[in-house]
């Protein structure tokens, strides 16, 4: 009875979930809410449905099949509760669905009205309110073996994860088998993912859950074992032929008449399985042909496949492809609690979380870590996490009994099966500074054509050694990357890693410089941009090219990783050049921590380049670069509250700039010095700005002069010279707007400052007008940090003058979002202000 109820609830859940994401939901939801509401036991049915639909929409938008399956499982469980409590509920739901979605609900309505159920019991029985299940008599199996095969190995360890994936299997294989599939239908599910992710254990666990769903038994074939037994000269298909023989011996008829050829064995397997409802678990499959030959013919049967390969071709056979991902933090901690005990895990919570992160959520790695903890009573989670924190020894630390049980041993077979060109790319990707990359970066890393890199990446993705993450990018799991690096260290030349970093670093330098130039041509740079890009193909100049600022933001982590690697490899000139052109991103997007690190690395590299320079010209350029980078470094340091250090960096930058003799650089450094003095020596700020203005004018640098005038106007306003400040700022804005290449970003910042001056003069209406315009313009050019400043000023004025509270709330909310996205501490204060408003 329980199986039939589960089948009915599963069918109803499938229909309801389909209805939730259809255009008919608005018309249907009130009736569905009433149905559940009368049986809610204190629950709010409308809230339940609203939350379920929101989760479905989110899961569909992100392509998260597991989350969609989890919602469906919740609805199914709710229906089971309803049907048990109310025998009339199934018929009532049938009537409701027949009105709302008669076509989509056909299977459910068929069940309620007395459809065919291929099960061992309940022939013609009435269950819960007149639901009838009809079962044909069991076929006469003359000569059949009485032994019911039950071959899937037992799960011998606690299993508390993979709820969403198991729900997908329930829906794809179990529920459909329970109610009987369409005539001739056999369902196929494929679990794939990287080695060690837990596919096999999950398949065994699901098989144990559904033993009663497949009354004629469960068959199991381990293709890894068959491959290990096969001799090198074994004919193609020998593993499939042996697998068929194993299955035939377990079915009615046993050993009798098993033919020798693969084709004949395939036909006999179909004949013997035609009247049976079986589950076949095929473990570690490497080819679609291994599955196709072993698909039984009995309706309601199912085949569950595990593979470290992407067997997309099986989709043509109707297979449901389920990608098994590493565990998230919650799942990884659950595994540690299962293996080490809740008390031990909770005693060192931070270390436990760190272990999950260091293992990348890979179950095999976490199991090895847990085994080490169990075997060594003196080893704590904190000590093990500290040991694994060193990348150089992490794989060695994730091993038991030498290398017999280790992450390397688990990954080894997949690597050894790769063809030579794919194996070489795999090794070199281990040395790639970033875990996420596109085929262009992979091609540069290996020194091959992009088309060849694309082909090889698909081969690696099929072997689950890299994962496609969308938008043409790929990702390597952290432990897989360490294994690839280990293989590279053993098989590649000693000089290859530095050469790879130089190739990839130059690739990112050129692309980042192109993006820098696309965003602003007439900005001060020490790097020789025209010379660097003389022969480069600019992707941002194409009509369908990427937006430069968005590309920089997307590649932010990769560029920073390349910069770190370049410094480690002693590529000093490449490193400081990359740090300088990369800073354009942070002028628009204020990621203070990342900006600080990139400038520190660049300044360190510039100083090293000066020390190792061979010519006076190289010394002068590297000295100027260090001055430029240290002056820029003062900005994120001030953002992060490191004020004393910001002052020290500026002192060093002034000295270096004067030594370089670069007039525009000297003017720029004076500008940064003035901005520091604005905060700590306001009476001396105007002096630095006037010096910057003078140096820019002497050099004929009109944009630099306009920017210096902008900061001078701000300093004048701060000193109470509001009318003079207004005149200075208006001249600066005119110069910035009326250039051959207008600087709209800086002009918008000047507009913000003009709005503030008007507020100081008591001209509230003009202040609000200028600040609104500034916020709009800054938002359009992507200068979110300054947009937030304008919005906070607007909120301050409105709060002070009794302006509309809804506008104040909107301005502060947007400003808080901007600062939160950038990791700024200002967000907390803005959220507190919103709470005080009641918003």
Task: State the chain's mean pLDDT as an integer.
Answer: 86
Q: What is the mean pLDDT of residues 296-313?
A: 91
The SS3 assignment for 219 reads strand
- Strands 218-222, 279-283: pairing is parallel
pLDDT of residue 178: 52
User: Who has greater pLDDT, 60 or 559?
Assistant: 559
Give the start-end residues of each E strand in 360-506.
Answer: 399-400, 405-406, 436-438, 467-470, 473-475
1 neighbors 80 (Cβ within 8 angstroms) = no
Residue for token digits 């001249």? 731
Go through the chain and tell me how many residues it has.
839
Q: Does 756-839 match 163-323 at the fold level?
A: no
What does the DSSP assignment read for 612-664?
T-SSHHHHHHHHHHHHHHHHHHHHHHHHTT-HHHHHHHHHHHHHHHHHHT-HH
For a pLDDT cut of 90, what percent of the chain falls above it? 60
Tokens of 438: 């596109």
249, 312 contact by CB (below 8 A): no
Phi then psi dihedrals of residue 521, to 5 deg: -85, -40
pLDDT band, residue 237 (cuts 50/70/90): low
Res 520 pLDDT > 80: yes
pLDDT over 70 for what percent of the chain?
Answer: 87
For 486-511, write each residue's pLDDT tens digit.
999 999 999 999 999 999 999 999 99
Q: What is the mean pLDDT of residues 423-447?
A: 96
CATH of domain 163-323: 3.40.50.300
Predicted local confidence at residue 108, as pLDDT: 65
Closest CA to 757 of 718, 786, 788: 718
Residue 436, beta-bridge partner list: 475
Q: How far apart are CA 415 and CA 483, in angstroms?
A: 9
Of 479, 323, 504, nearest in space to 391 by CA: 479
The predicted pLDDT at position 353 comes to: 95
What is the pTM for the complete model shown? 0.68
Give CA–CA dist 221/224, Å, rounded: 9
Per-residue b/e over 379-393, b at no fewer than 16 CB within 10 Å? eebeebbebbeeeee
401 pLDDT exceeds 90?
Answer: no
pLDDT at 4: 61
Q: What's the confidence (pLDDT) of residue 234?
A: 42
Q: What does the pLDDT look like over 715-726, one tens digit per residue?
A: 999 999 999 999
Which candidate, 266, 306, 269, places its Cα nearest to that of 284? 306
Between 389 and 64, the more confident residue is 389
- Where residue 660 falls (left for φ over 0; alpha for ψ -120 to 50; beta otherwise) is alpha
Enumerate the domain spans of the chain.
2-133, 163-323, 329-389, 756-839
Q: Quick: pLDDT tens for 615-644.
A: 999 999 999 999 999 999 999 999 999 999
Q: Is the pLDDT score of 526 beyond 90? A: yes
Distances (CA, A) of 287 to 169, 265, 310, 315, 411: 21, 18, 9, 13, 18
Q: Of residues 295 and 12, which shows the higher confidence score?
A: 295
Instruction: List the beta bridge partners of residue 789.
Output: none
What band does 604 get if pLDDT is binned at 50, 70 and 90?
very high
List phi, psi (to 5°) of 396: -65, -35
What pLDDT sits at residue 116?
A: 33
Does 519 score more than 70 pLDDT? yes
> What sign has the CA pseudo-torsion 521, 526, 529, 530?
positive
- Beta strands 399-400; 320-323: pairing state: unpaired
* Position 690 pLDDT exceeds 70: yes
Confidence of residue 132 (pLDDT cuts 50, 70, 90): very low
Is pLDDT of 121 > 80?
no
Instruction: Select the CATH number that applies to the domain covering 756-839 from these four: 4.10.1060, 1.25.40, 1.20.144, 1.10.8.
Output: 1.25.40
Place of tokens 């006037």: 690
pLDDT at 144 over 80: no
Given a cut of 50, whether residue 378 has pLDDT beyond it is yes
* Closest C-alpha to 782, from 744, 808, 752, 811: 744
441 has a pLDDT exceeding 50: yes
More confident residue, 836 or 664: 664
Paired residues of 475 in beta bridges: 436, 467
Per residue in 790-803, pLDDT (tens digit) is 999 999 999 888 87
**Helix axes of 592-611 and 616-639: crossing angle, nearest 10 degrees:** 160
Contact predicate 820/826, CB 8 Å: no
Which range, of 103-112, 148-157, 216-225, averages the lowest pLDDT?
103-112
């Amino acid at each position: 009875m329980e199986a039939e109820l589960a089948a009915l609830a599963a069918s109803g859940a499938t229909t309801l979930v389909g209805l939730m994401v259809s255009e008919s939901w608005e018309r249907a939801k009130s009736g569905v809410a009433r149905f559940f509401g009368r049986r809610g036991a204190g629950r709010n049915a409308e809230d339940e449905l609203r939350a379920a639909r929101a989760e479905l929409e989110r899961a569909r938008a992100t392509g998260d099949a597991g989350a969609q399956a989890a919602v469906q499982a919740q609805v199914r469980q709710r229906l089971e509760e309803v049907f048990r409590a109310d025998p009339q509920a199934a018929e009532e739901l049938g009537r409701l669905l027949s009105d709302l979605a008669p076509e989509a609900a056909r299977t459910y309505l068929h069940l309620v009205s007395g459809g065919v159920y291929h099960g061992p019991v309940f022939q013609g029985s009435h269950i819960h309110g007149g639901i009838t299940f009809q079962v044909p008599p069991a076929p006469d199996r003359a000569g059949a073996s009485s032994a019911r095969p039950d071959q899937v190995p037992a799960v011998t360890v606690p299993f508390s994860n993979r709820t969403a994936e198991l729900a997908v299997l329930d829906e794809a294989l179990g529920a459909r088998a329970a109610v009987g599939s369409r005539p001739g239908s056999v369902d196929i599910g494929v679990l794939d993912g990287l080695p060690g992710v837990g596919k096999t254990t999950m398949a065994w666990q699901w098989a144990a859950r559904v033993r009663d769903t497949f009354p004629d038994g469960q068959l199991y074939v381990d293709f890894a074992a068959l491959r290990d037994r096969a001799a090198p000269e074994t004919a193609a298909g020998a593993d499939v032929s042996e697998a068929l023989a194993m299955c035939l011996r377990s079915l009615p008829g046993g050993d009798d008449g098993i033919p020798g050829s693969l084709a004949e064995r395939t036909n006999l397997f179909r004949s013997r399985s035609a009247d049976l409802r079986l589950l076949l678990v095929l473990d570690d499959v490497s080819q679609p042909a291994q599955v196709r030959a072993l698909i039984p013919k009995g309706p309601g049967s199912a085949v569950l496949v595990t593979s470290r390969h992407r067997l997309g071709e099986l989709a043509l056979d109707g297979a449901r492809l389920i990608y098994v991902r590493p565990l998230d933090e919650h799942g990884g901690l659950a595994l540690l609690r299962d293996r080490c005990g809740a008390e031990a895990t909770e005693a060192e919570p931070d270390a436990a979380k760190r272990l999950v992160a260091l293992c990348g959520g890979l179950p095999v790695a976490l199991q090895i870590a847990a085994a080490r903890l169990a075997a060594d009573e003196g080893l704590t989670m904190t000590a093990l996490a500290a040991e694994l924190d060193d990348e150089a020894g992490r794989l060695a630390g994730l091993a038991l009994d030498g290398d017999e049980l280790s992450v390397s041993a688990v990954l080894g077979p997949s690597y050894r099966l790769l063809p030579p060109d794919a194996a070489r790319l795999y090794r070199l990707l281990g040395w790639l500074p970033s875990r996420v990359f596109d085929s262009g970066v992979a091609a540069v890393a290996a020194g091959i054509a992009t088309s060849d890199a694309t082909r090889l990446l698909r081969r690696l993705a099929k072997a689950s050694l890299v994962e496609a993450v969308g938008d043409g990018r790929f990702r390597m799991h952290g432990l897989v990357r360490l294994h690839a690096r280990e293989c590279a260290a053993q098989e590649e030349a000693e000089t290859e890693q530095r050469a790879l970093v130089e190739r990839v670093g130059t690739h990112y330098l050129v692309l980042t410089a192109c993006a820098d130039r696309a965003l602003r041509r007439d900005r001060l740079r020490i790097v020789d941009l025209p010379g660097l890009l003389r022969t480069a193909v600019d992707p941002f100049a194409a009509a369908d090219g990427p937006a430069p600022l968005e590309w920089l933001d997307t590649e932010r982590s990769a560029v920073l990783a390349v910069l770190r690697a370049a410094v480690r490899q002693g590529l000093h000139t490449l490193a400081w050049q990359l740090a300088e052109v990369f800073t354009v991103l942070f002028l628009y997007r204020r990621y203070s921590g990342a900006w600080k690190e990139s400038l520190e690395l660049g300044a360190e590299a510039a100083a090293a380049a000066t020390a190792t320079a061979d010519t006076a010209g190289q010394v002068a350029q590297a000295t100027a670069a260090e001055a430029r980078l240290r002056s820029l470094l003062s900005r994120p340091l001030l953002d992060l509250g490191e004020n004393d250090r910001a002052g020290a960096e500026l002192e060093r930058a002034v000295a270096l700039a004067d030594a370089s003799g670069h007039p525009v650089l000297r003017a720029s450094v004076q500008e940064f010095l003035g901005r520091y003095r604005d905060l700590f020596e306001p009476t001396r700020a105007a002096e630095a700005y006037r010096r910057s203005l003078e140096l820019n004018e002497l050099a004929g640098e009109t944009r630099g002069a306009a920017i210096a005038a902008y900061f001078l106007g701000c300093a004048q306003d701060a000193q109470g010279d509001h009318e003079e400040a207004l005149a200075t700022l208006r001249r600066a804005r005119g110069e910035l707007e009326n250039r051959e290449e207008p600087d709209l970003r800086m002009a918008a910042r000047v507009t913000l400052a003009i709005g503030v001056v008007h507020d100081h003069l008591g001209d509230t209406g003009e202040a609000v007008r200028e600040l609104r315009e500034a916020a709009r313009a800054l938002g359009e050019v992507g200068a979110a940090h300054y947009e937030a400043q304008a919005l906070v000023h607007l909120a301050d004025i409105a709060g002070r003058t009794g302006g509309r509270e809804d506008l104040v709330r909107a301005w502060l909310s947007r400003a808080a979002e901007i600062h939160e996205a950038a990791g700024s501490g200002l967000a907390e204060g803005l959220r507190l202000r919103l709470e005080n408003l009641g918003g």
